[in-house]
Amino acid sequence: SYKKPKLIPKGANVEVQKAFIADYEALMNEAAIEGDPVLFGDAVHPSQQTRPSYGWIKKGQDKEIETTGARKRVNLMGALNLEDMSFFYQDFETINSQSTLKFFKKLEEAYPNVRKIHWILDNAGYFTSDEVRKYLETSRIKVHYLPPRCPNLNPIERLWKIMHEYVSNNKVYGKFKDFKAALFEFFDTTLANITEILVNRITDNFHLINPAK
């Protein structure tokens, strides 16, 4: 069939992915016994610019969407709990070690009575800096790092996709404040009303990335 190839991260190691999944399953068993939350985290930078996407259009017709020159973006850090689909987020002027530490404190406040807060993250510099590692030495947060170049092992990536479907795809925002308001409305209001969609589409049924042939 005639179709375009699927992009995958270069250098993803299948055996390392399998090892992570085994460790994750052990972590989930431990967390269930102890009553500790397991969260998936990430930073995302949605932009005001128009994102054209597939949609139903009458045969033989085209659909035009206005574009803007706006390139402003929102910098968010989030944490998703798959057990109950609870989501915590915070917006920052920029994402760095300092904003990561502020978000750590937000998570600790959200879970005041648990022994540990397990947070699964990628290897971005703001998650692995010396400042962050030092803070974690005395924090209830226990960070578990994903294998390099493996976004397929982070279910929060699927939440970002759903976010774009509701907020960004085929949408035009003339003003940045309107885009930002729509974004926060999605997280603050819409998420609570689409729980069934989230449960069906955001899971820890991980798909392994195989090297490109």
pLDDT of residue 174: 87
Per-residue pLDDT at 50: 72
Length of the chain equals: 213
Q: Where are the alpha helices (DSSP H) in the chain?
A: 14-34, 97-110, 125-128, 130-136, 156-167, 176-185, 191-193, 195-201
Nearest to 41, CA basis, from 104, 83, 92, 98: 104
3-state helix, strand, coil in the chain (%, to 5): 40, 15, 45
**Dist. CA 59–CA 14, nearest whole Å:** 42
Please report the pLDDT score of residue 110 as a whole number.
Answer: 94
Query: Residue 89: its pLDDT value, please?
Result: 97
Rounded distance between C-alpha atoms, residue 54 and residue 162, angstroms: 14
Question: What's the whole-model pTM score?
Answer: 0.89
The residue type at 95 = I
- Token reading at 184: 């926060």
Nearest to 39, CA basis, from 184, 144, 152, 196: 144
What is the model's pLDDT at position 97? Answer: 97
**pLDDT value for 49:** 78
pLDDT for residue 170 = 86
pLDDT in single tens digits along all 213 residues of the chain: 777 676 667 767 899 999 999 999 999 999 999 999 999 999 999 998 776 666 666 776 666 666 666 679 999 999 999 999 999 999 999 999 999 999 999 999 999 999 999 999 999 999 999 999 999 999 999 999 999 989 999 999 999 999 999 999 888 898 999 999 999 999 999 999 999 999 999 999 999 988 655
